[in-house]
Structure 1
Amino acid sequence: MTPEPAPLTSTQALLARIRADWQQAEPGLDPSPMLTYLLIDRLHATLERQVNLTYASSGLNPATWDLLVTLRRSAPPQGLTPTELAQLTAISGASITNRVSRLLERGLVERQVSEHDRRSSRVRLSAKGRALADELLPRHLENELSIFGVLEASERKVLEALAGKLLGSLEAHTSQDERG
């Protein structure tokens, strides 16, 4: 027995409309790359909104949540340097200082300046920050499990493989462009 097709969503309707419009306006044009990009772009925006539900009520945004869970997951007891945080998160180095300052103001992290080099510091979770991360993490994982629950395990593996392949290609291309 084959499953019923999923109902047409607003994005699916939009993609069908765009395809039909291009067929009419420029019959020889294949709009597939544009449509794939639009689909992934809308998926990203919707995923981000859904995932933000986990921590937004705690006054965190994606960047501060990323810092909090990175410190919870990866930091040794003495903490991580801002450079290490930038390497382990999706946050650019320039934004790390701002994000750490926000978490410092809320008492969620502590910053310790190096005795040997006043320009160097380490950031670690405070007890309050660890408690918040530990409180939100199960909800975050449950939310993500719910998001991807529509997919079979084998479909998730295919999605991960395809997304990884595309991202790897784009990152390699970007690295080549940056090197000149």
Structure 2
Amino acid sequence: MEDEVDRLVAAWRRERPDLDVEPLEVLSRVSRLARHLDRARRLAFAEHSLEPWEFDVLTSLRRTGPPYQLSPGQLLTQTLVTSGTMTNRIDRLAQRGLVERLPDPSDRRGVLVRLTTEGQDRADRALAGLLTQERAILGELSDRQRNELASLLRQLTAPFDNVPG
């Protein structure tokens, strides 16, 4: 079975035989797959009236377990955005009734962001929709193939995830 990357690689081998274009065999496919995944995720989130960034914040809170709350600083760490961006996101989610701000009992000046019942429900439904989309993307891969692919991708991504700062 030939795909667009096969055609791209063949063209570069013809036009630039002096270059080793082998990395394109893997990384161009990863890039194309990422675009398809982004479209599928946006569709899954839109079905639940969520933007991708809203899903990220809501599911960061949801994964913590009861009482589903984090400090804004903890949310920053999990979502990799600036404090100004996070403040704006929390404001917008609070206006929609998906999160609420509460005083932090361990810090008089601090606040905690807690998932509301509606926020939890929306996050849960969007996650279920996302998993349906992702299963479709994985298609006919066997359990063994999925595990092998996950292991290989982990080898590529782990060094980026474990770099300080």
- 2:47 aligns with 57
Amino acid at match of 2:81: S
Contact 2:9 2:24 in 1 (8 A): no
Contact 2:40 2:130 in 1 (8 A): no
Q: Residue 40 in 1 paired to residue 30 in 2?
A: yes
Where structure 2 has 5 or more consecutive residues not aligned to the other structure, the ranges are: none
The CA RMSD measured in Å over matched residues stands at 2.3
Q: Within 1, Cα distance between the matches of 2:24 and 2:131?
A: 32
- 2:159 aligns with 169
Q: Residue 99 in 1 paired to residue 85 in 2?
A: no
Q: Give 3-state SS (helix, strand or coil) of 1:117's partner.
A: strand
One of 18, 21, 36 as aligned partner of 1:31: 21
Amino acid at match of 1:97: T
Per the TM alignment, residue 75 of structure 1 is displaced from its structure 2 partner at its CA by 4.5
- 2:73 aligns with 83
Amino acid at match of 1:140: L
Amino acid at match of 1:117: R
Higher relative contact order at CA 8 Å, sep ≥6: structure 1 or structure 2?
2
> 1:101-158 deviations in whole A, cap 9, x for unaligned?
221111110011336432x210011122122223333323223223224211111111
One of 103, 108, 114 as aligned partner of 1:117: 108
Per the TM alignment, residue 71 of structure 1 is displaced from its structure 2 partner at its CA by 1.3
Q: Within 2, Cα distance between the matches of 1:145 and 1:26?
A: 38
Q: Within 2, Cα distance between the matches of 1:22 and 1:136?
A: 41
TM-score, normalised by the number of residues in structure 1: 0.77
Q: Within 1, Cα distance between the matches of 2:144 and 2:25?
A: 25
Cα 1:136/1:85, change in 2 over 3 Å: same
- 2:6 aligns with 16
Task: Report the number of matched residues.
Answer: 163
Q: Which has the higher strand share?
A: 2
Where structure 1 has 5 or more consecutive residues not aligned to the other structure, the ranges are: none
